[in-house]
């Protein structure tokens, strides 16, 4: 048992005493400081904390720092919870209001990567360098985007820990992540689009591909388009949901909110609405032909002959077969969205309109993605002005 040898009171900083501890017949001296952090709301008694050091000077310095933070109301009690324990709590109580797929991604990152690497570290001992080392260790086996996702999960959980008063600052704030390289776009030009349209004539997914190409819808959005969102009288589409396969459960696709959670209304070209009208008539024909066997519980626009939703992977693979046949194997399904955006900008649509049709959060993001297109348009504009200047000078 430790013995108290001396007791000193340091004005304004709490109390310091020298203590000795006997272990195996040998005495060890150390210094102990005690200070008050407040009062227990239940009992009204003082809440006292203890700090230790090898010398009186060391303890006095620690006491000055601790009591100064108490005065400024920035003092935090030591948190004995580990990062792993806090992440379990965060997932259970704070990971609410996010999409099912997002929650699954977060949980997987925590279970398979973050907790095995840092879960045993005490929350208040976790430092920026430890987090940086974790990110660095993943660069050999994981993409920059995946590491960015790890950071997003960890940063959000630690931000909540700060708000809860468990830690004073977020140690993930100062980390440096590898730069995420943008995937190269392969938008189809007018000649490739012409070849593509010729190739899909009579194809089982002809109408689906046509609508996607000339609306810029994401794959999940076009597959999740429902008839109540199609207004033939006004010629508009309401994009407020998408078809998505959950990572957990029975694996069946279901309708969820759009990528950014916001709905948008499109007014596509008349030919797009004409194609959708033909799809409607085809579906009505299937319903008459198959009777009760035709089931379309989600009221989807694009379905199989019996009303079942189209498998996203099957649609994607079929698309890849088609673009390979026209000599463009590098083109992805998502590049139809890029093709629409490029064509719209080149046709003279302003960036704000294109942003709204694509469902981007800001026009700045649209400019960032398609800046090369607008740069070309500026060059063409300058050339037109140059020709005009020469024409008026020679008049």
Identify whether residues 114 and 249 lie together within a single domain.
no
- Alpha carbon 152 to chain centroid, angstroms: 7
CATH code (residue 145): 1.10.150.130
Q: Is the dihedral of CA 85, 89, 95, 100 positive or negative?
A: positive
Kindly report whether the global pTM for this prediction surpasses the value 0.85.
no
Distances (CA, A) of 283 to 228, 286, 301: 14, 5, 8
CATH number at residue 266: 1.10.443.10
The verdict on 248 and 201 lying in the same domain is: yes
Q: Are residues 300 and 153 in the same domain?
A: no
| Residue 372, domain member (yes or no) | no
- Report if residue 377 sits inside a domain: no
Residue-level pLDDT, tens digit, the chain, 395 residues: 555 544 444 434 578 888 887 877 788 788 888 888 777 778 888 878 877 788 888 888 888 887 887 777 665 666 678 999 999 999 999 988 788 888 888 999 999 999 999 999 999 889 999 999 999 999 889 989 999 999 999 999 999 988 887 888 899 999 998 887 777 788 898 899 999 999 999 999 999 999 999 999 999 999 999 999 999 999 999 999 999 987 766 778 999 988 878 899 999 999 999 999 999 999 999 999 999 999 999 999 999 999 999 999 999 999 999 999 999 999 999 999 999 998 888 888 888 888 888 888 787 778 777 776 666 666 777 777 888 788 878 76
Domain residues for the domain of 26 are 3-71
Token digits for 52? 């230790």
* Same domain? 233 vs 295: yes
User: Which helix (H) or strand (E) segment is 358 a member of?
Assistant: helix 351-358
* CA gap 75, 331 in Å, rounded: 57
Looking at the structure, tell me whether residues 278 and 132 fall in a common domain.
no
Q: Are residues 236 and 208 in the same domain?
A: yes
DSSP assigned state of 303: B
User: How many domains would you assign to the chain?
Assistant: 3
Q: In sequence order, which residues have a C-beta less than 8 Å from that of residue 220 and are 6 or more positions away?
A: 242, 243, 244, 259, 312
Main-chain phi, psi angles of 382, to 5 degrees: -65, -40
Is the domain of 254 the same as that of 307?
A: yes
Q: Quick one: 342 and 216 in the same domain? A: yes
Contact 16, 32 (CB under 8 A): yes
DSSP state of 309: B
Same domain, 59 and 154: no
Strands, E assignment, the chain: 3-10, 14-23, 26-39, 46-53, 230-231, 236-239, 242-244, 254-256, 264-266
Same domain, 341 and 256: yes
In a domain, 27, yes or no: yes
- In this structure, are 205 and 148 located in the same domain? no
Residue 383 lies in a domain: no
In a domain, 103, yes or no: yes
Write the DSSP string, 126-156. Answer: --HHHHHHHHHHTTTTS-HHHHHHHHHHHHH
Q: What are phi and psi of 259, to 5 degrees?
A: -55, -45
* Torsion, Cα of 329, 333, 334, 335 (10° steps): 40
């Amino acid at each position: 048992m430790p013995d108290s040898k001396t007791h000193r009171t340091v004005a304004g900083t709490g109390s310091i005493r020298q203590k000795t501890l006997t272990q195996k017949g040998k005495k060890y001296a150390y210094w102990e400081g005690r200070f008050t952090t407040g009062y227990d709301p239940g009992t009204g008694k003082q809440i006292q904390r203890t700090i230790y050091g090898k010398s009186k000077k060391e303890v006095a310095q620690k006491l000055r720092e601790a009591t100064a933070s108490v005065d400024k109301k920035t003092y935090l009690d030591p948190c004995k919870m580990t990062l792993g324990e806090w992440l379990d709590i965060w997932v259970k109580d704070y990971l609410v209001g996010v999409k099912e797929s997002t929650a699954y991604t977060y949980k997987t990152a925590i279970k398979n990567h973050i907790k095995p690497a840092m879960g045993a570290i005490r929350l208040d001992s976790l430092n920026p360098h430890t987090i940086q080392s974790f990110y660095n260790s993943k660069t050999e086996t994981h993409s920059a985007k995946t590491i960015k996702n790890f950071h997003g999960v960890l940063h959000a959980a630690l931000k909540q820990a700060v708000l809860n008063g468990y830690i004073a600052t977020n140690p993930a704030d100062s980390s440096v992540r590898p730069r995420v390289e943008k995937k190269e776009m392969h938008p189809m030009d007018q000649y490739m689009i012409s070849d593509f349209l010729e190739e899909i004539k009579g194809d089982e997914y002809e109408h689906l591909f046509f609508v996607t190409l000339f609306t810029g819808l994401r794959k999940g959005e076009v597959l999740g388009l429902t008839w109540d969102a199609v207004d033939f009288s006004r010629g508009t589409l309401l994009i407020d949901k998408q078809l998505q396969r959950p990572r957990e459960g029975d694996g069946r696709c279901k309708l969820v909110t759009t990528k950014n959670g916001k709905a948008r209304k499109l007014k596509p070209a008349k030919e797009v609405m004409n194609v959708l009208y033909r799809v409607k008539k085809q579906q009505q024909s299937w319903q008459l032909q198959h009777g009760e066997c035709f089931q379309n519980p989600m009221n989807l626009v694009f379905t199989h002959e019996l009303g079942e939703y189209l498998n996203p992977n099957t649609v994607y693979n079929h698309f890849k077969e088609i673009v390979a046949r026209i000599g463009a194997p590098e083109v992805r399904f998502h590049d139809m969205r890029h093709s629409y955006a490029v064509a719209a900008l080149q046709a003279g649509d302003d960036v704000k309109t294109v942003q709204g049709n694509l469902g981007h959060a800001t026009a700045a993001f649209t400019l960032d993605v398609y800046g090369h297109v607008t740069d070309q348009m500026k060059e063409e504009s300058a050339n037109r002005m140059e020709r005009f200047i020469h024409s008026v000078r020679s008049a």
